Structure 1
Amino acid sequence: MSFHEALALARQRAPALLDAAGRVAEAEGAVAGAAPPLRENPTLSAEVGPRSVENGARRGVQYAVGLVQPFELGGRQGARREAARAGLARQTADQRDTERQVLGEVGEAFLRALYAQELTRLMSRTEEAARDLTHATQRRFDAGDVPVVDVNVARVALARAQATVAAARGEEAALLDELRARLGVPTGEPLAVRGELKALAALPVSATTEPRADIVALEAELAQAEAELRLGRSERLPDLSVGIRLEQEVDESALVGTLSLPLPLFSRGQEARVTGAARVNRLRTALEAARRTRDLQVQAATTRDRQRHEALEVLERDALPLLDENESLARKSYEAGEMDLAGLLLVRRETLETRVALLDSHLEAALARVRLAVELGVLP
């Protein structure tokens, strides 16, 4: 899969994103619960029984039917709706922020797996060159041009190249498994990466005016805390219960209205007010700190991205054009007897280290570009 295909698959199957989607669905339940105009249902009561006089004789049946509806005062239901909607907004923003972070982790895991794949190819080419050198040294030894020590040194270089290839392949497999875990891909399902680090290092990143999801989540959490604080303050006002009652006593009946109001002498929402005020103050401080941290993160990511690309540009401009030429000239000189084996191996080692450094620079530049996109919240 390509880089963008990996991100698309992460949006569909990453375990962390599936969990975040479930939390959004749960928050929708609180919104549904706060939607009705009244929180409490009306209560219907009924009483029935025989009526008797002093001598025990029955004089008919007495019954009563009543209907009572509690009402919240102080705007409690409105505050509860605001808190539920803010909670849903918070979970939605948390889902987007989780997506931002997960896509960044998947992008970095993809780049490292791609790096390991390109490193394996580079080491395989180095192994092939070492094998050719071993054969060439053996031919020169058979012709009596070089001592046996040169043959042994060439064989040692080949063994080192083979060991490096084996290690690179193992690292590639391990990094693919890490990518598989982040994508939620089962073990039996095939997975491979394709692309070029050089192209991904030039991934376009555009600025956005939209606030980052983690900031939006904190703003929504603050709005939820403020609504819950208003709800706690309104608990100083008791619930009002209004009802109607029909009473029937033998041949007499009465229709009366009822009104009940608990006296807020002891429980006045003290805990909700104190806890809510502390939470609001804490979240306001956290929001200010998060905004400052975001600005610093974007600044640091921008600086790192620029420096990594400057370093890559130096290697590509000043070193890359000379590598193939140097290696080719050194080999021709060795085969012509103008350079000894030690000199050839030194040139090859320097060439390989430079190629690995160039590959490392491609990786660092691509990682810096992905990190910048994550900090800006614009990873495609």
Structure 2
Amino acid sequence: MPRYDRNVLLKTSQSPWRLLALCALITGLITPAALAGQSINLSQALSTAMDSNPDMAAARQEIGIADGARKQAGLIPNPEISYEVEDTQRDTSTTSVSIAQPLELGGKRAARIEVATLGQGIAQMELERRVNGLRADVVQAFYAALRAQTGLDLAKQSLDLTERGLRIVDGRVRAGKSSPVEATRAQVQLAEARLQVRRAETEKSTAYQQLAQITGSAVTVFDRLESPTLSPGTPPRPAELLARLDQTPEMRQAVAKIDQNDASLGSEKAQRIPNLTVSIGSQYDRSERERVNLVGLSMPLPLFDRNQGNILSAARRADQARDQRNAVELRLRSETQTALNQWATAMQEVESYDQTILPSAQQAVDTATRGFEMGKFGFIEVLDAQRTLIVSRGQYLDSLAAATNARAQVERVYGYVGSDAGVR
């Protein structure tokens, strides 16, 4: 009995030069145009995206931005030099030259450094989050393109079925065993199958282009996707996954923002203490022909501005960061549970289609076709069986899409979750 195999990809042999050329593309040794007509798998798509996606390249710049902020936070204020002249008459003028250095009191510099250092950690966590997001986008785009590729293969198989049915009907009509109406039905079915093939070709081209864009290329440099399976694998157990929630980049980032806002509050409190400015200089009186040394201390009086407004804002931001951390945890727990449920449900559907529905639909087509050839069934039974098989294949791909999208949602938060798909 024929059995529907979900691994319907056409196997193509890869010669060593093709693999070497693809590796060269990933490492930037040759241009993408030189690899037109090659195949690509998920690992290669992920590697290319991490190296070439412009959004990821922009995200990496945040590390340097945070490093610059940390460097700036550690610098001390610049000294000031001044020159003054009293009385513009040459013989009676008095000139003064002095240099002043502001001294930050109250731990202002240390507080700035702490805030900027925490900012460096947050930037690193944001990059990890963006890496997980890009990985999820590539997984979604790759499997969408793989399903489109498989959909085209299945549409061509359906076209073969309808062409075979038309040949059988034509033979029976010429032999006077069937009505010409059945030939008309077969021709309509054939036209629909050809339309489905054209639609599948368009969907495949669009999905390939989207995958190419995510991997950082404006043009499609591959003509075939290679994967051992269409399935995204089985979902992990919710308890095991939720136990890793505190280690996810988004949760760690939310906690780090609490620390950063607490440090910002400390920095604003330190601003209440006025800075001391120390100055030294020299003054020369031409009328007396006398030079004197100058030493000065200055400090603003915190009578009105004690930075109370900024302290209040920083305190509220610290409270806000704690509320946001709780909101992030609640959202991630809910999204995780929902995605895992969708993943598990979709995989149950996939299993049902793979083990029962599709093999039965294929058997019904074969049985109806043989029965029609023997004159036991009318062609309407053949059409019904073919349409059932076509619809079932489409629903099978829809279930795979739901499972893959749920997996991508999980990996957007947790990174690689170790599914049975076997591809990192």
Superposition TM-score, scaled by structure 2 size: 0.80
Query: Does residue 285 of structure 1 match 2:323?
Result: yes
**1:46–1:64 contact (8 Å) kept in structure 2:** yes
**1:242–1:259 contact (8 Å) kept in structure 2:** yes
**Equivalent residue, structure 2, for 1:80:** 112
1:1-380 alignment to 2 at 5 Å?
A: 1-36=40-75, 38=76, 40-47=77-84, 58=91, 63-187=95-219, 189-196=220-227, 198-202=229-233, 207=241, 209=244, 211-249=247-285, 252-378=290-416, 380=424
**1:215–1:287 contact (8 Å) kept in structure 2:** yes
1:5-56 per-position Cα deviation (integer Å, ceiling 9, x unaligned)? 22222222223222222233222211111123x2x1122334568998xxx9
Deviation of 1:197 after TM superposition, in Å, equals 7.8
Deviation of 1:245 after TM superposition, in Å, equals 2.3
Name the CA distance, whole Å, in 2 between partners of 1:253 and 1:203. Answer: 88
Name the CA distance, whole Å, in 2 between partners of 1:354 and 1:65. Answer: 91
**2:111–2:264 contact (8 Å) kept in structure 1:** yes
Structure 1 stretch displaced more, 140-149 or 298-307: 298-307
Deviation of 1:80 after TM superposition, in Å, equals 0.8
Deviation of 1:233 after TM superposition, in Å, equals 1.6
**1:113–1:193 contact (8 Å) kept in structure 2:** no
> Which segments of 5 or more consecutive residues in structure 1 lack a partner in the other structure?
none
Name the CA distance, whole Å, in 2 between partners of 1:17 and 1:282. Answer: 29
Name the CA distance, whole Å, in 2 between partners of 1:198 and 1:360. Answer: 15
**2:230–2:400 contact (8 Å) kept in structure 1:** no
- The aligned amino acid for 1:25 is G
Give the secondary-structure state (helix, strand or coil) at the position aligned to 1:330. Answer: helix
**1:109–1:179 contact (8 Å) kept in structure 2:** yes
> Which segments of 5 or more consecutive residues in structure 2 lack a partner in the other structure?
1-39, 418-423
Structure 1 stretch displaced more, 292-301 or 175-184: 175-184
**2:45–2:138 contact (8 Å) kept in structure 1:** yes
Deviation of 1:165 after TM superposition, in Å, equals 0.9
Cα distance, 1:33–1:17 mapped onto 2, change above 3 Å: same
Aligned-pair RMSD on alpha carbons?
A: 2.6
Give the secondary-structure state (helix, strand or coil) at the position aligned to 2:225. Answer: coil
Deviation of 1:290 after TM superposition, in Å, equals 0.6
Give the secondary-structure state (helix, strand or coil) at the position aligned to 1:245. Answer: strand
Q: Which of structures 1 and 2 has the bigger CA Rg? A: 1
Structure 1 stretch displaced more, 142-151 or 327-336: 327-336
Name the CA distance, whole Å, in 2 between partners of 1:316 and 1:282. Answer: 50
**2:129–2:413 contact (8 Å) kept in structure 1:** no
Structure 1 stretch displaced more, 70-79 or 325-334: 325-334
**1:213–1:377 contact (8 Å) kept in structure 2:** no
**2:280–2:293 contact (8 Å) kept in structure 1:** yes
**Equivalent residue, structure 1, for 2:3:** none
**2:235–2:344 contact (8 Å) kept in structure 1:** no
Name the CA distance, whole Å, in 2 between partners of 1:264 and 1:191. Answer: 69
Name the CA distance, whole Å, in 2 between partners of 1:109 and 1:272. Answer: 46
1:319-338 per-position Cα deviation (integer Å, ceiling 9, x unaligned)? 34434433222221111111
1:54-112 per-position Cα deviation (integer Å, ceiling 9, x unaligned)? xx9x48x8544322210111111111111112222222222221222232123212211
**Equivalent residue, structure 1, for 2:18:** none
Give the secondary-structure state (helix, strand or coil) at the position aligned to 1:257. Answer: strand
Name the CA distance, whole Å, in 2 between partners of 1:192 and 1:370. Answer: 24
- The aligned amino acid for 2:256 is A
Identity of aligned pairs, percent? 24
Structure 1 stretch displaced more, 329-338 or 119-128: 329-338
Deviation of 1:199 after TM superposition, in Å, equals 4.7
Deviation of 1:181 after TM superposition, in Å, equals 3.0
1:120-170 per-position Cα deviation (integer Å, ceiling 9, x unaligned)? 110111111111211121111111111111111111110011111111111
Superposition TM-score, scaled by structure 1 size: 0.88
- The aligned amino acid for 2:233 is A
